[in-house]
Amino acid sequence: MPVLTLDELREHARQRLPGPVWDFIEGGSGDEHTLRAGEAAYRELCLRPRVLVDVADPDCALELLGTPLASPFGVAPMAYHRLVHPQGETATAEGTARAGALLVVGMFASRPLEDIASAGGPRWLQVYWLRRRDALAGLVDRAEAAGFGALMLTVDAPQVARRRRDVRNAFALPADVTAVNLDPGLTERTHRATAGSSGIEAHAREQFDPTLTWDDLSWLRERTRLPLVLKGVLTAEDARIAVECGVDALVVSNHGGRQLDRAVPALQALPEVVASVPESCPVLIDGGVRSGADAAIALALGARAVLVGRPVLWGLAHAGAEGVGQVLGLLRSELLETMALSGCPSLAGLGPTAVSRRPPLRDHPWPPSHGEPSRTASTTSGGLR
Ligand SMILES: Cc1cc2nc3c(=O)[nH]c(=O)nc-3n(C[C@H](O)[C@H](O)[C@H](O)COP(=O)(O)O)c2cc1C
Ligand SMILES: O=C(O)C(=O)c1ccccc1
C-alpha cells in the first residue's frame, strides 16, 4: 500500500523507533503547550478559494537567496539523523535532492558535510554560536568549500530548554551516533545523561555561548560571503534589528515547540515579521506544517518558503531516502492541488486574501503590505482583516 498521508508515515516511524528516540524527536519543552499550539494555529485558518481562474498549470518553483527550488519546501535543520536511520543525513540529502527541495543541514549532523553535499541538491548549513569560535569558523569554511548556499544561525537556543520526556528517559546519544563534523572533545557530553538533565541539554550548557548579542553578528557576517539567515525570530522588533545587521533572510520559528514553552505560534508571528522587513528579505517559517494546505496558508501570509522538521524524520525512519522523498513529494503535490483548487496557480498570486480567520489573531496592520497585489487578490473585498 502506498503511503497517502504524513500521519501514516508517523505511525510507521513510531513503531520502528525505540521509545526514548521517539520522545526526543516528537517532544517539546515544558508543558509542550507551544508544541501543540504550533500545529493548532494552522487549523484555525481557512482558505478563501477563488473560482473561474485558469489553473491548468499550477507552478510552485522558486528561487530563494539564489538557490533554485522545485517547491517552496525545505528540510528544517535537525541534529543526528542517524538516530533514526543508519545512513542518516546522506539518505535525507538523496531524498530531498530528488524532490528538488532545500536541505538545511544541522551543525550536529551525524554524517560528514562533504558526504551530504555529494547528493548534489540545494543545501544550506545551520550553526549554533559555540563558545569555541574556532570550531564555528572551521565549519563555515568547510560549508563554503562544499557548496552550501547559505548559513543559518539559530538564535532561539542560548541554552537547550528542559524537555521533560528526555529527562525522564535519561536520554543520551548511543555511542555510534555523533556530531562527526565537530571535534569529538566538543560532543562527548551528548553520550551521558545525568540525574535531572539529558545528554543533549548538558552538552549544550557546556558548548553553546549564551552571551551572543546582536553586536557579535558582525563577526559571522564578515567571516563568510554566504547569505546569512537567522532562525528563531518571532517579533517585528527583532526582525527590524536583524535587517539592520545585514541579515539576508529570517526563519520565523519557535524551534518546533522545543525551546521557549508558551512562545507565540510561528504562524501567529509571521504577519508582523513579514510587515517589518523589506521585500528583499525573504521570511521563512517552520513548526507544525503537516500538509500542503498548511503550507499554502503560510505562503499566503507572506512566508517565501516553509521548513518541515519531524515529518522528514518519520519518512527517513520508515524508508530512508525513499521515505524522505515521499514526505516532500506528498507535500508538494498537496500544495499544487491546494493552489489549483483555490484559484491561485502561482506563488505570487497566493496572498493574504486567500486566507480567512475568525476571531482575529492579533491587531497588527493587516494585510502585510508586500508586493504587487495579484489580479486575484486585488479584486476582493474580503480576506483576513
Ligand atoms: C529531533 C530534532 C532536532 C532538532 N535539531 C535542531 C538543530 O540542531 N538546530 C536547529 O536550529 N533546530 C533544530 N530543531 C528544530 C527544527 O529545525 C525546527 O525548528 C522544528 O522541528 C520545526 O517544527 P516541526 O518539527 O513541527 O516541523 C530540531 C528539531 C527536532 C525535532
Ligand atoms: O535543537 C534541538 O531541538 C535539539 O534537539 C538539539 C540537538 C543537538 C544539539 C542541540 C540541540
Q: Is 318 a catalytic residue?
A: no
**Residue 155 alpha carbon to ligand 2 centre in Å:** 12
User: Is 376 part of a structural domain of the chain?
Assistant: no
What would the DSSP string read from start to end of 19-42? HHHHHHHH--STTSHHHHHHHHHH
Give the per-residue pLDDT at 202: 87
Which-ligand-closest: CA of 166? 2
Instruction: Give alpha helix (H) positions in 102-150.
Output: 113-117, 133-145
pLDDT, average across residues 132-145: 96
Q: How many domains does the chain have?
A: 1
User: Is 369 part of a structural domain of the chain?
Assistant: no
Question: Is 286 marked within a binding site?
Answer: yes
pLDDT, average across residues 259-272: 98
Is the CB of residue 228 less than 8 Å from the CB of residue 136?
A: no
Closest CA to 152 of 136, 171, 163, 164: 136
**Residue 101 alpha carbon to ligand 2 centre in Å:** 22
Give the per-residue pLDDT at 318: 98
* Residue with the larger pLDDT of the pair 383 and 37: 37
pLDDT surpasses 80 at 191: yes
Whichever domain contains 137, its CATH number is 3.20.20.70
User: Is 373 part of a structural domain of the chain?
Assistant: no
User: Is 322 part of a structural domain of the chain?
Assistant: yes
Is the CB of residue 274 less than 8 Å from the CB of residue 234?
A: no
Question: Is 43 marked within a binding site?
Answer: no
Which atom of ligand 1 lies at the shortest distance from residue 308's CA? 27
User: Is 34 part of a structural domain of the chain?
Assistant: yes
User: Is 377 part of a structural domain of the chain?
Assistant: no
Give the mean pLDDT of the chain: 93
Q: Which phi and psi (to 5°) does residue 54 adopt?
A: -70, 110
pTM: 0.94
- CA distance linking residue 189 with residue 203, whole number of Å: 5
Is the shortest distance between the CB of 295 and ligand 2 below 6 Å? no
Place of cell 538533565: 197
Give pLDDT tens digits for 195-244: 778 989 888 888 999 999 999 999 999 999 999 999 999 999 999 999 99
Give pLDDT tens digits for 326-381: 999 999 999 999 999 999 999 999 999 999 976 555 566 666 776 555 554 444 44
Strand pairing partners for 73? 306
Task: Name the active-site residue from 255, 318, 364, 370.
Answer: 255
Is the shortest distance between the CB of 160 and ligand 2 below 6 Å? yes
Give the per-residue pLDDT at 385: 46
User: Is 382 part of a structural domain of the chain?
Assistant: no
Is the shortest distance between the CB of 292 and ligand 1 below 6 Å? no
User: Is 180 part of a structural domain of the chain?
Assistant: yes
Is the shortest distance between the CB of 204 and ligand 2 below 6 Å? yes
Residue type, 356: S
Give the per-residue pLDDT at 183: 85
pLDDT, average across residues 114-120: 97
Is the shortest distance between the CB of 99 and ligand 2 below 6 Å? no
Residue-range definition of the domain harbouring residue 35: 6-358
Give pLDDT tens digits for 146-175: 999 999 999 999 999 999 999 999 999 999
